Amino acid sequence: MDLKKTNAPVNTITYNKSVIEEPTGNVYEAITIMAKRANQIKSLTNLSKFRTSEEIITVRPTEANKGWLLVDIDGLKWFIPVSQLTPLNYPRVEGADPAKILEHLEGLVGKEFKVKVINVDEMGKKIIFSEKAAISENRDKALGSLKVGDVVEGTVSGILTYWLFITFDGLEWLVHVSEIDWGHVNNPSKFAKVGQKLKVKVIGLDNDKISLSVKRLQENPWDVLSRKYKVGDTVKAAISRISQFGAFMELDGGIQGLIHLSEISHGVVKDIRDFVKVGEEVEAKIINFEPKEKRIGLSLKALVEAPAKEEKAEEVKVEAKVEETK
């Protein structure tokens, strides 16, 4: 027998004891397989202990698919489900495009992860790791150290249509689009960039969630505006946008005042752009102001004297004809 000759596999997952004990005809191959299986059993035993002790361990994924990161330990493959990733590593993909999700997960292969064992089955066929569980202690500590009104500085770690992701103290939190600016926000990426340092204010603490705000670091511009203006005052500002029902003027603090279609001109308005254009600076009169409701109505025609009505003009003509006949 040639003991040097062996076809022992590089990786093997063997659960059937009879297969290991079956004669191979090659002592070296049998010893190799048994040694590998011994390491696997040792790994299973250790991982089971980790679950009981809730110890945090370090792993590096070796593969990825659409729903998992796979970790190879002593030839056995264990899993980190996507649902068990922290927000910092979770695939934030618009439209949940499977190809983009996979691309993101493949970018995490080889990265070091701190995880906890959260599930071990009796046969050792499936062991589940969780990154979220590993940071729960840090999360609880962060929640316990903060109070409403605190201001913290973090780093913008992600941007989506309705959210800014802010990371501080190794944890990631969210700022909703409505809390980015006092004015209208239709694209958060215009207000922040990934990697940018940003201060945020804690506006709410609810169980394991923190509500953050960027806009509340400054005074509510509606309060400022209510001290500065009242109904009947004239304001001067640029037209910021035009819609089918009117034009908007950008006032102090980014507040958008509406000039309704009916307040553009005393005459017929077929196209608002015939009267004002975006970027043009105009004067308008405040005809409605409700700070609590965040509404301010403006008028262009209120600053212009209304032309004489056609009815009066007709009356004048009739009177003139009567005089001629006398």
As a whole number, mean pLDDT of residues 189-216 equals 90
- The share of the chain scoring above pLDDT 70, in percent, equals 75
- Examine the pLDDT at 74 and tell me if it is beyond 90: no
Which residue, among 243, 237, 255, has the nearest Cα to 300 in the 3D structure?
237
More confidently predicted of 90 and 230: 230
How far is Cα 203 from Cα 94, in angstroms, rounded to an integer?
Answer: 27
Q: How many CB atoms lie within 10 A of CB 64?
A: 20
Q: How many CB atoms lie within 10 A of CB 50?
A: 18
Range ranked top by mean pLDDT from 18-27, 135-144, 288-297:
288-297
How far is Cα 174 from Cα 166, in angstroms, rounded to an integer?
Answer: 6
3-class SS of residue 325 = helix
Parallel/antiparallel/unpaired status of strands 256-260 and 295-299: parallel
Q: Decide if 1-134 and 137-217 have a common fold.
A: yes
* Per-residue model confidence (pLDDT) at position 69: 93
How far is Cα 256 from Cα 286, in angstroms, rounded to an integer?
Answer: 13
More confidently predicted of 14 and 143: 143
Looking up tokens 């250790």 gives: 46
How far is Cα 98 from Cα 104, in angstroms, rounded to an integer?
Answer: 10
3-class SS of residue 6 = coil
* Per-residue model confidence (pLDDT) at position 240: 94
* Per-residue model confidence (pLDDT) at position 320: 46
* Per-residue model confidence (pLDDT) at position 233: 96
* Per-residue model confidence (pLDDT) at position 36: 61
How far is Cα 164 from Cα 199, in angstroms, rounded to an integer?
Answer: 12
How far is Cα 180 from Cα 302, in angstroms, rounded to an integer?
Answer: 34
Average pLDDT, the chain: 80
- Examine the pLDDT at 83 and tell me if it is beyond 50: yes
Range from 13-27, 38-52, 99-113, 222-236 carrying the lowest mean pLDDT: 13-27
Please name the amino acid found at residue 202: V
How far is Cα 165 from Cα 274, in angstroms, rounded to an integer?
Answer: 42
Return the CATH number of the domain spanning residue range 1-134: 2.40.50.140
Q: Please give the class, per CATH, of domain 221-303.
A: mainly beta
As a whole number, mean pLDDT of residues 181-200 equals 89
Which residue, among 218, 212, 149, has the nearest Cα to 175 in the 3D structure?
212
How far is Cα 33 from Cα 59, in angstroms, rounded to an integer?
Answer: 24
> Looking at residue 62, what DSSP letter applies?
-
Please name the amino acid found at residue 315: E
As a whole number, mean pLDDT of residues 144-151 equals 89
Q: Kindly report the backbone phi and psi dihedral angles of residue 258, in degrees, each rounded to the nearest multiple of 5, phi listed first.
A: -100, 130
CATH topology of domain 137-217: OB fold (Dihydrolipoamide Acetyltransferase, E2P) (2.40.50)
Using an 8 Å Cβ cutoff, are 93 and 149 in contact? no
* Per-residue model confidence (pLDDT) at position 199: 95
As a whole number, mean pLDDT of residues 130-147 equals 80
Q: In what order do the strands lie in the sheet with 197-206?
A: 171-176, 163-168, 151-160, 197-206, 209-213
More confidently predicted of 289 and 129: 289
Domain segments of the chain: what residues?
A: 1-134, 137-217, 221-303
